Amino acid sequence: MDGWVNSNFLDLARFQMKELWRLFLVAMLIASVGFVACGDDNGDDAGDDDDNDTIGNDDDAAGNDDDAAGNDDDAAGNDDDAADDDDDSSGGSSEWTNNGLSWKAEEMPMKWDAAVTHCAGLGEGWRLPILEELRGLVRGCPPVESGGSCPLTDDCLEMGGCWDDSCNECMNENENKGPGQNGCYWLPEIKGDCAKSLHWSSAYTEKAEIMKYGIIFKSAKITSAHKDNVGYVFCVKGS
């Protein structure tokens, strides 16, 4: 009886070992098939990203950056970021022509001496405008426009005898009511900031050379400021 039991026990053990070995082989086969299916990124696939990443298929041969943070496909300046498309929908231009003169608006404010140097550095013929040329940009405030009743000109710059109330015609309640961008009293096509400071001219008096004239375009006011103050800059070319 004991011999029969031992024989059956051995047969059962052999059967279980065979089953375990068969299951092991099946598991190995499944694992090998899965490894092949998941990809073999051997480096021979130009731009074929087989790393199965869930962040995004970064197939960026030639700049194709498919990142989830934003499609910044800015080869040659194509900036598709949501924050700024560089299309400047606010309108206006940083360069324009008026009365036969070429103009360029500079974004950064600077001291008067730096403004003179900056405009000259743009190339031959570029300079700060004289006061009359700057008045030629004024629109919507007739007394301060070129040829208007405000007597301050390049030939008459003394505040005592060359200034009257017409030079302040568009101040106070009339500020920022001009036809330009953001209510500036200048040509509609001009882009720039008229809210914070004056725009420099090259004009000054010999009695007070440190005081330089300019125009505050939010109110079309002709005024002067110490040359070490910062102001905005329109550079001009032509005569």
Domain limit, last residue, from 77, 112, 130: 77
Q: What CATH number should be reported for the domain holding residue 122? A: 3.10.100.10
pLDDT digits (tens, 9 = 90+) for 99-150: 899 999 998 999 999 999 999 999 999 999 999 999 999 999 999 999 999 9
Look at 206 and 109; give whichever has higher pLDDT.
Answer: 109
Is 221 buried (19+), middle (13-18) or exposed (0-12) by CB count in 10 A? buried
Q: Are residues 58 and 105 in the same domain?
A: no
- With 90 as the cut, is the pLDDT of residue 6 above it? no
| pLDDT score for 93 | 60
Q: What domain range is 126 assigned to?
A: 95-237
- With 60 as the cut, is the pLDDT of residue 91 above it? no
Q: Are residues 121 and 194 in the same domain?
A: yes
Three-class DSSP category at 78? coil
Q: Which of 127, 126, 145, 125 is nearest to 135 (CA)?
A: 145
Please tell me which of 128-142, 180-194, 202-216 the model is most confident about, judged by mean pLDDT: 128-142
Domain limit, last residue, from 49, 77, 105: 77
How many separate domains does the chain show? 2
Q: Are residues 168 and 223 in the same domain?
A: yes
| pLDDT score for 193 | 73
How many residues appear in the chain? 239
Tokens 């096509």: give the residue: 189
How large a percentage of the chain has pLDDT more than 90?
Answer: 47
Distance between CA 188 and CA 91 in Å, rounded? 9
User: Is residue 229 within 8 Å of 118, Cβ to Cβ?
Assistant: no
| pLDDT score for 107 | 86
- Residue 27 CA, chain-centre distance (Å), reads 58
Distance between CA 113 and CA 111 in Å, rounded? 6
Find the distance separating the first CA and the last CA of the chain, reported in whole Å.
127
Distance between CA 56 and CA 229 in Å, rounded? 51
Which of 63-72, 99-108, 111-120, 220-229 comes out lowest in average pLDDT?
63-72
